[in-house]
Structures are given as structure tokens and as C-alpha cells.
Structure 1
Amino acid sequence: MELTCYLHPSWHPRIRPAGSKREWMDATPESFAYRCLPLAIANAHGWEVGSPCAFRARWNGGQGVDAVEIEVEGDVPESQRPVSLFGSGTITFHIEGLIRTAPGYNLWVGGPPNAAKHGIAPLTGVIETDWSPYTFTMNWRFTAPGEWVRFEEDEPFCFFYPVERGLIDRVEARMRPLSDAPELEEAFMAWSASRDAFQEHVARTQPEAPSDRWQKLYYRGVCPNGEPGAADHQAKLRPPAFQNAPEKGRCPMATQAKAVVAAVSDPNPVAAQRQAWRERTQKRQAALADGLTSIPILPTIPAETFLDLFYAPGVPVLIEGLAANWPAVGQWTPEYLAEKVGHAEITYQGGRNGAADFELAKDRHIRTMPFDAYIDAVTGGETGNDAYITAYNSTANKAALAPLMADLGQVPYLDEAEGMLWIGPQGTFTPLHHDLTNNLLVQVTGAKRLHLIPPSETHLIANTRHVFSDVHDILDEEKLAQYPAARQAVCYEIDILPGDALFIPVGWWHQVRSLSFNTMLTYTNFLWPNDAYKDFPTDQ
């Protein structure tokens, strides 16, 4: 169906696809809240609108419109300011847009799911947006008088998604004994028994890996007997961005970070030259990246569009399903890989766990092993960062892994050269760094989670050695305590799934974690120039 937001010339709404992340969920031990898939799906089940200004508000407990005090920061047009419009301890946001749904569909409008805010709560409405020529407002009601409540600029204050009108009226709701559905009862009893057994196993063995401490049946869309559940089971939701959004409506890049001005002088001349290189190479990137609130996610787009919107200006993008039709995406299980390559000897990066500088001293960590033995080693219960076939091993492994290349397809943005293959277990980690080329990452098996930081944030993340950050891991609290400026860096998180391709522009900082056994290729052989590395300053 089509969802359209019509804009008056003066309107610039900050509408974006909702994301699954919540700060309180990140803060749970081992981020266990994300194991509840319904929470994560609900978080991303629609679109959100960011506040056009930062402000604070307080309610004195009265019922009149004058009972709410609002203090807005900065020079913000009156039409974009929240107001006390209805009284009764509420504040009102005006939505700059006339949203229309397909015939027969309403719009559910409320606050961001699973994002409680102290002292105030969102009010929810359902609007007939398939015919209504009226705009609507988003309202919040104070829950405690006398307390200041703050909204940051770009903080989501509204969340919406379409719902079919009349569906509730057509529902026939009834209660029945479970025994009336023998197959369902059998499946439920099997699940209950397996859950009890699994919890007993966890209590007895105390597995170290977080992923081994939860059963994951529903998350993976699997029935208790191991058979797949619904064919359209969703473990991740990615609403599309509104096309043709006005430039002024794009949310500032530094949504959660304070703006940092003027790079500090660097006594290291090579470091200063490198930063000048980044700024020169990315001079167009900075202006365009100011419009990002998340990494764009798009279906496959023509090469000319990719060049104009992403490659030339240096803007990252996730191209969803670019390689979905490659034979490798469905075939590259560990068993298939081991059988296809067999005993051929390969090189990999080993012994990494005991060395903090494993990325800087790659040659020290080169190991050799028959490929099928390597697959057995990384899928036999061992997870972590200690054995990883990386792009650095590509030249040495070219002949051994050649049988796999026939399973790959073409990419419209590349010439005929081969990609660099990565194969490893869950838990592999590539620390924070930037590359000297534009890269296209194509995920084949499993999933990876990346954190990306724009080149403009380099002065915040302790770059003292070549293309590496001393912060190492932007999620490491000990490192962040050592380098507190890194907390201010604008950082984007995105998962790349089988068939997806992620474009990382030259100079963009990134770190990568494997969420499962995975295979991935890195391509640098674009149709357009990709030689910024030639004038990157080297150590004297």
C-alpha cells in the first residue's frame, strides 16, 4: 500500500523509519531485553517524528492552558514549538504534514513504543487518514505536577503506522479449551517440556556465551519440533524511508551528541596530514551527512543513482537484498563450504584473543590449516575472535577458495574483479578503524553488526596510529572511560543480513562484530575511481 505525506511549502517534518533500539534495552545485562523479539519488532513497527526543537516543560497541576510552562531553546518558529493547547495538563505538538493512507486504512498515532518518559506519557489516537483533509496533533499528558520534563531536539515525540479500518468489527473472539486443538496442545506441551529442560541445562552448565543462555525458538521462527514456523516470520523490521523528503526536514546528524567545533591542533605532523587528507577526501560528505539520523536502507538502485547519491558524496547506505538471488546466499552452510573446498590448506588470523594489537600486527597472527578442519574448529562450539579468515588472507587463499566463487553473482556497481572473503564464527571482532578505499560489504551467511562514525568525528576517537582508533571498541566502557571524548562522537549502528550489501565510504570509521557463523565479501573494485589511498600520508 502507499503511505503519502503531503507537504505545504512551509512544512519540514522530521519523519523517519523507527528503529528497534532503546537506551534502556541496551543497558540491560548483556542487552538481554533484545531477546524479546516482540519488543524489538514493536519498536520498529512504523515511523517516528523527531522534535524540531529542544525544550523543557512543567505542569503546576491546574486544568487551564496556563497551567503548563514551556521553555524552548533557540530561535524556533512558532509553528514548530510545542504548546499548551487543550489544558488538563497536556502539551501539544503540531505535525507538519497531511498524511494519507490507502482506502480503508486508518493511522494509529501515539508515542514511541517501549520508551517510557518520566513525568509525562503520550496519548494515543486512531485517525481516518484515507479521506480526512485535516492535519492532526500529537499530545502528551503530564503524570506528575511540579517536575520539569525535557525533550531533546530530534527526540521522537510521535509514532505512527497504518491499520485496517473495520478489522476489529469483523473479529469473532471466543475462548476454548486447549484440548479442542490437539496439534496446538501437543506443540505447546513439547515446548513447555523443552523449555524446562533448557532452563535446567543452563542452571547446571552456566554457559559463558550469552547466546547459549536463551532458547531462541520464537526468535528464530522455529516450532518446538524443529520445523519452521510461519514462512513470513520476521526477526527484523525495516520500514522504508519517505521518498523525496525536503532537505530542511532531515534530522541533524548529531542527534544524541553535542556539536564539536574546530579540530584541535595536533603536534604530530603525520597525524595532521592524515586528518587533512580525510577532510579533503570527504569535503562533500560532511554537508550531506548532516542530514543522516540513521544509515539509509534501500532496495537495489541503479548504478547512476548509487553514484550520485552515495558514492560521490561519500554517504553510507545499506542496499537490502542486493545479493539475495546469489546461489551462495542459500547454499553456504558450514557443511557445504567444507565439502566444496575440502582439505585445501588455507591461511587465517589466529591467536588474536591474547593480543590487543592483533589488527596492527596481522602478519604475527597468520596461521594455516586444512579448510574443512578450520570449519570444524569454528563451528564445533567454539565462538569468539581467535580464528578468523579475513580479507588480509585473500591473496594466500585465492586458489584454495576458488571453488566457491562460482556461487557468487554480479553487482551493478562493480567491475569483474573478485571480492575478499571473510569466514568466521560468532563473536569475531574487527576494531574501530577506517579504510583507504570505498568498500562494499556483501553478507552471504549469518549476520554482522557494525558501528559507523563519520570522518568529521576523528578528533574525538584518539587516532594516533595509521587508520586505527585507540578507543578500539566504541562500546567498551573501560575504553570510553579512558577516552571520554569518544562518547560525544556521532555513531550509527546497523545490522547486515544475508543478501544485504553495505557501502562504507572511504574514511568512515567502523567496527564489526559477528552475530553468528558468517561469510562475507568485501569489494573495492567500483566502476568509478577508488584511489584516495595514493596520497594518504605515511609515517616517515
Structure 2
Amino acid sequence: MEIDCFIYDGWRPRIRAASPRRDWMDDTPESFAYRCLPLGIANAHGWEIANAVGFSARWTGGSGTDAVEIRLDEGDVSSVDVPVSLFGQGTITFHIAGLFRTSPGWNLWVGGAPNEAKDGIAALSGLIETDWSPYSFTMNWRFTRPDHWVRFEPGETICFFFPVQRGVVEAVQPRVRPIEEAPELKQQFEEWSRSRDAFHERMREAPPSQPSEKWQKLYYRGVCPAGETGTPDHQSKIRVRDFEGQPGGPAPAAPKIAPAVPPAPPLDPQLARRDWMLRVQEGHRALSPRTAGLRRLHRVDPDDFLDHHYSAHRPALLTGEMADWPALDRWTPAYLAARVGGAPIDYQGARLGDARFELDKDAHRRSMPFDRFIAEISRPGAGNDSYLTAYNSAANRTALAPLHAELGRIDTLLAHGPAADEAMLWIGPAGTFTPLHHDLTNNLLAQIVGRKRVLLVPPSEAGKLRNREHVFSAIGDLTDPATLAQHPDLRDMPLYDVLLEPGSMLFIPIGWWHQVTALDFSVSATYTNFRWRNDWHAGFV
């Protein structure tokens, strides 16, 4: 049996032997999905064709070819590699750069990769008589719902194929028979069923520590319950040959695809109209230089701040208010450690292993002496794993009192009480990250040590940000290229990119979406004790 792929000059089919691996199978605990041998064999049972160019696409729901929008990544690509909307009906089409010829009597089954799902779109399948056909074929995918962006990465599998002998299915005579007609099979099955029940009981009573001991492996090893070989040609793995003579060699392995951000649920008409009105209001605000953009204020006047920012729900970058704070001149990691010493403090730890570290804050509460904490976050590459946050403020009030004593006052904006009851400190290394969210109060973020990058998005964009859990967006990080590629509509949002340096403060109005990244070892303080009403959180649902 042979398969030839004939190409014209300039055609590059990008074929590779199919891989038995799948990202979702890798991510199962102890990779247990690979214990299912039929999955792995199916995964590798053929060849893959790789996508040539990264792109995002969505379907509006119509039946015409103009109902599909395709946005290609930047870069030069051959026209033969570009996906198109060719047939309508919510489909996108890939032209396959090759004319395939199989041995007489053999077809090619063509479709999507086995055991590989893609949110919002599904591969269509076909059976092609490639032993005689002089025609090229296309690979087509059909959207499963409208108004949802899907993303195809360069190198991602767009087509999977393998040979099928023509006429075999029609020649089969299927039957249903009572098990008593096959007494040996009946005995083997019942023996296996009893052994499996006993195996599961042992697992419950004494769970083994080694993953390899947590499954029976009878089918995987190709043996019957009594231990005899099931068939001499049992396959526990499969590896097909690469196509010879392919320009540039076989296509590289498929890239690991980032988990898809859950799509936004369809809005009912009332919510859609609400979002429209919010966008209109933000658009009107942008018409005037007096109300558009991020205003920068030095030595703020309280009446001006109330009129144009606090009551107007408009962020502002403030400077000059912290000029006399002792903390600005004194605070270094060494000074902080010496000032507080070994007093035990609460912080958020082990964040790197949990993508939901903000939602699961209670599970990440840790405690250690403050000077040891400073040493921990001062080591090179400490990153986002350990962070003392505002959430830890109540527990740290006594331990961090010496630091609060070195903060100044902001009488123009804040109603002051005991200092430790006002400032909520954030202390962490470069790389600490707070994902995209909004707060339930108006906040004043004061930067004391190091720099932070803050991205601000107005509430008018809430409909794009997939807010399903509390105050957090499922988007997470607006700087992630994979997220932006998957959701091109995010690129059109109004967004303020703010560099917060020591001695500056950022007013973040309630409901404004923001994410924060520390660029250096950083200490910040958040204040919510404004002179004006700030208890709106009471009505949050």
C-alpha cells in the first residue's frame, strides 16, 4: 500500500506523522487519559496537515460567504495557505496543497484530528477516492455557534487523514447474538468482570502510591484475564512513516494550544441595550479633551477632584501628594526586614500552581516571619508565587504597624483615622500580577517602592470581558498574545496603560477594570477611606 502526494512548484503540504499526544490528555492527573490505549492508537492512526498561518475567525450566523470574518496574523503568506470563506453556511475552507494518489481500491478518510475538540467550530469529514481522482480536495470546518471568535495557531492540525480500503464496510454482515453462543467469550468476560471488581475494591481499601499500579493494564498489554496472549499482532503503540521527499521535511510538531477563554454567553436584549448605552456614554466622554483620556494632576485640589473625577467616575494620575512621606526615602528590602523583623505575617503563597489564585485566595494564605518573607521575595526570579496583598491587611495590622507609621497623610482626599486602619499594603517582587478585575469601592493606589504597570478599561467594555465569577474577568491578562488573538474584539477597547512610579498615585473609580503587574520589587498602598461616600459595595450582587 502506498500514498503519494504530488505537488506543484511552490506548494508545501506541511504533512507530519500524527502524534499520539493531546494537550488535554497531558493535563489529566498523572496523565491517566493515556491509560486508555484506544485513544492513543486513534490519535496516531494517520497523518496530520499543519496550518500555515495564524488567524482568528468568527461567523455572524448568516448563510452567505460574507457571514464569516477571517483576520490573518501579520506577515507574508502564500495565497494557497490562506483560509477562505468559500461555501457559506458558516464554514471556513483550507486548500490542501497536494494531489493525493493511493493504491488501487484504497480511499482516504479526511477530517479533524481524533480526540481533539475545538471550542466553537468542528471539523467536517469526508471519504475520498484518491486512487483515481485527479482533483485536489479542501478541508472544511463549520462553526457551531455564531458571534464567537475561534483561533487557529500556525502549526496547529487542520486536517487528519488515513487510508481505508473501499468496499470493506459494505461487505460486512453485522449480527447481534446471545452471549451463550460464545461460551469461551462469556467465561473470559465474567472472569474479567470479577477481577475488575476485586481490583477496584483493593484500590479503595489501600490506594497505591505508584500511578502504574492504579490500573489493570490487561488490554494495554494485550492479554486475556487468564494471562494468555490475545493476539500476536496486538499494538500498544503506533508510529506511521513520514512522507518522503517533502520540501523542508515533515512539518514540526503541533504547538501547545493555550486554553480557550470561555465565550461570553449571549446577552438578552435588555443587557445588550445596557452595554450599548454604556459604550455611547464612554464615546461621548471621549469627544472632549476635558473629559477624555487619563488626566494627570499635581497637588490636587479637592473640589476639582470631586467635580471632575470622583463624582464623574473618571480615573486620574496624581503626583506631589506623597513628597513628604518618610517611606519614600527609607524603604528598601533590607530596611523593611530590619524595621519589622521576625514578626509573623500573612501573605498569599503557592500562587504559580493555580490559575485561580485570586478567586482561591483563602486556599493560598500562608504565614512566615516578615524578614524571611522579604528574603524569599528578594531572590532572583521570585515572580508571582508569593505576594503580601491587601487581602492580608487585617491579619497584618499589628505586625506592620512600624511601616504604617512611616506613611504620610492625604488630607485633601481622605478622611483619616488610625493609619493602620487606612492603608492596605502590597509587598512583592517583580512579576507579581493581579489579573483583570474591578473593585467594589473607589480606590486610591499609592506607589511607594518600585514601579507597576496598570492597565485600565472603562466599565463600558464589561460585555467583552466575560465576567462570570465575582469581580474577575475570564480574560485574565490583556497583554497575553494568545488571548488577544482568540478575541480580536479586545484590541478595539479603550484602554489606559499607566506606569505608576514611586511617589505617584492612581485613582481607580469603582467598576473600572484593571490589571496590575509589578515591574520591580514593589511596595504599594491602597486607600478606600475617601472624604466622600464609598460604600456602594453593599448593593453588589
Structure-1-length-normalised TM-score: 0.47
Between structure 1 and structure 2, the one with the greater Rg is 2
